[in-house]
Structure formats: structure tokens, C-alpha cells
A = this chain, B = another copy of it.
Amino acid sequence: MIDKYEINRSLAINLLRTREAVMDRFRPMLASAKLTEQQWRVLRGLSEHGATDAGKLASIACILPQSLSRIAKNFEEKQLIKMETDSNDARKIILSLTNNGEVLMKGATVESKKIYAKLIEDFGENNLADLLDKLDLLRNSLGKE
């Protein structure tokens, strides 16, 4: 039964395999920084957005709030982030990088940009723009954002 419904042709699997192929280029960098993909996205979100409450940060980093809760506790113990209660809303926790966290991200970000630049060079800037457009279109077609 080899048709467009077959597993190797399915959209979800192709998105997964392609993402894995992309991440393979970043894994050495992450391994040398001793960070998981999710931890990297959290620190990157804080680095780009500055102090952010947990809910927004989870959304930015594309992880569940429950996962961020665990990651944040871990990072606070390692003194990579600070956790403070929002003075306007005691339910919210504001996260921000410590100096240690910023130092860690400085180096990793330089490395990450090099890898991404090489990826764009290999894939082609136009191909990348087209692909990102198609992905946006698909998400819109599915009624999400």
C-alpha cells in the first residue's frame, strides 16, 4: 500500500526527519556547551527578549510550562538564571539571565550563527525563504499560530 498516505510520505514524519537533519548540525555545539535543545531554546529566548515571565518564555522557546518549570529550577541551581516574583502579579515568575548565563550565551551564540550561516549557504537563501513561507502557509491553513 504505497500511496500518499504511506508513512514515509506523510507530512508529519517528513517534518520530523527534516528537523532532525537540521539539528544534527547544531548538536555538536550543544554538546560542547552541555545543553539540551530545550535548554538552549530557553537561554536563547532570555538572551533575545531579556527578563520574561515563565508563560511567555515557554511560548517563545516552544516548550511546555511544566518543562520550563523543571529547566528553570535546574538553571537557578547552576546560577545561570534568576527567578523573581512579578511585583504586579504575584502569580508570575520573571526569569532573567545571570552574568554567568550571559557569558555562556555569548560564546554559544557566535558558534550558532556560524552554523546557521553555513546551512543557509548550503541550502540557498531563496530556498530557505520559500520553505519558511510554505511552513507559514501550512500553519495558517491549519488554523494555528
Contact = CB atoms under 8 A, between A and B. Distances in A.
A13 interface: yes
Given A11-B119, A12-B22, A132-B9, A1 B138 contact: no
Interface stretch (A23-31, A69-77, A82-90, A93-101): A23-31
Nearest to A61: B7
Interface in A103-145: 112-113, 116, 119-120, 122-124, 127-128, 130-132, 134-139, 141-142, 144
Interface majority SS on A: helix, strand, loop or mixed? helix
Given A8-B60, A119-B142, A19 B15 contact: yes
A47 to B, nearest CB: 9
B19 A41 contact: no
A33 interface: no
A18 interface: yes
A17 interface: yes
Contact of A11 (B45, B128, B139, B142): B128
Contacts of A13: 41, 62
List 3 tightest A-B contacts by C-beta distance, closest first: A15-B19, A21-B144, A123-B141
